[in-house]
Structure 1
């Protein structure tokens, strides 16, 4: 694949993953276990939506087909999205949400840290700004994994249920596409192998601190967010997220 197309796909991976995870967090509005948690979840979600806009604006410029970041967010079909399978999974209970957030944050932090040194100044700038936010996201989700894993008998039971439910989707966090590897070799993208190694080390360290099991490495299966082969959950999420712009395509504020 040409480097230009590889870069577009990489930007969509970053932007779509942040957008969908942000959308999932915002589904907690009015449903969180405490007011403080609702505000925190919404703030993290809005951070991710803002990051998604930055990545999708760059992708739209490179696509140069007349579409904007909003068009990419609200007028693409499911198969055109490149987000990680992990982030499209339903929220479930609070333990499921925070486990998923931690697994994503630990990956996201390593990716952004690598991108701060990108030879593409636009990418390095977006990553540096996002890293400040994601540093907080990771600290917060890590603390919740510890609280829930080492909390009550019920909270631990829920954590022990959440980890194996989500773990199969971490296969995408442990390996990059050929395009990502080529971009990394050119100094543009974060090295997928380094990201995967640092991600696993962080997960193992945190889980060990509260005696939570780390499952064996996940294996590839027939779905892949990077190629647009998603779980059934993404289409349902997009139907809700995209309804208004699709129903009223010419509407303006």
Structure 2
């Protein structure tokens, strides 16, 4: 692998790790706050899936960097402008409908992305993706069921679910945009060309939303910037909480 491809692969692994890490933390905020015990357990399991995925991506990034940085350095010792996660991942927890809608939008995306990433020419990225596919299939079954129940439930649950969908839709466009780094890797058979996932994602999401008696939002607005370190204020608050212990005790290892 050339130095250019190696550096690009390192950045790509960090991005994927950031997505999983930030979303995993967001999901973990529901533990002990779920509507009932089974949901507390389910949320904990889903959060752990994403944190485990983040560790694998960060671990691979540390191998590629070969400069002494560990997965902890990527997770805990970077500020918000150094994170490259998609903005959708850092949105606040919101109410139950908000979190389930966000999860559905992301779960459909990962169920399209991961099977293609599992075919990557990079053996490590392919192995991580192959491991995550089964988890993501379970995640999608769960979020789909909840969106159907909430959207086609009571008048209040329908209203909240539609409101969540309308407020989150503009953050989904970023999932299907690629910069030079990802384009280079996609052309080299390492990364996934996410621009080609958009139509199928929209078809699947629209089908679920229609079944849930929800209206598919118009593409009237879009927010982007996560991949280049431009984030909402929500990420700074999240990192302050997530990184507090590690930064309070430098060098601490679990």
TM-score class, shorter-chain normalisation, is over 0.9
Structural mapping, 1:2-81, within 5 Å:
2-81=4-83
Pairing partner for 1:202 from 201, 204, 209: 204
Which deviates more, 194-203 or 162-171?
Answer: 194-203
Give the equivalent residue in structure 2 for 1:239: 240
User: Per-residue deviation at 1:219?
Assistant: 4.4
Contact 1:171 1:218 in 2 (8 A): no
Give the equivalent residue in structure 1 for 2:152: 150
* Cα distance in structure 2, aligned partners of 1:4 and 1:198: 30
User: Per-residue deviation at 1:174?
Assistant: 2.6
* Cα distance in structure 1, aligned partners of 2:125 and 2:168: 29
* Cα distance in structure 2, aligned partners of 1:109 and 1:171: 17
User: Per-residue deviation at 1:34?
Assistant: 0.6
User: Per-residue deviation at 1:194?
Assistant: 2.0
The gaps in structure 1 that reach 5 residues or longer are none
* Cα distance in structure 2, aligned partners of 1:66 and 1:219: 42
Give the equivalent residue in structure 2 for 1:95: 97
- TM-score, with normalisation over the residues of structure 2? 0.95
- TM-score, with normalisation over the residues of structure 1? 0.95
User: Per-residue deviation at 1:220?
Assistant: 4.4
Give the equivalent residue in structure 1 for 2:140: 138
Deviation sequence 1:79-120 (CA, Å, 0-9, x none): 111111001000110000000111111112211111111111
Deviation sequence 1:163-205 (CA, Å, 0-9, x none): 1111111121232223212211211111212222222121111
Give the equivalent residue in structure 2 for 1:169: 171
* Cα distance in structure 2, aligned partners of 1:201 and 1:187: 25
Summarize the Cα distance change of 1:220–1:147 in structure 2 as closer, same or farther, 3 Å threshold: closer
User: Per-residue deviation at 1:3?
Assistant: 2.5
The gaps in structure 2 that reach 5 residues or longer are none
Question: Partner of 1:234: helix, strand, or coil?
Answer: helix
Question: Partner of 1:124: helix, strand, or coil?
Answer: helix
Corresponding residue pairs, total: 252
Question: Partner of 2:25: helix, strand, or coil?
Answer: helix
Summarize the Cα distance change of 1:236–1:229 in structure 2 as closer, same or farther, 3 Å threshold: same
* Cα distance in structure 1, aligned partners of 2:11 and 2:192: 14
* Cα distance in structure 1, aligned partners of 2:32 and 2:152: 27
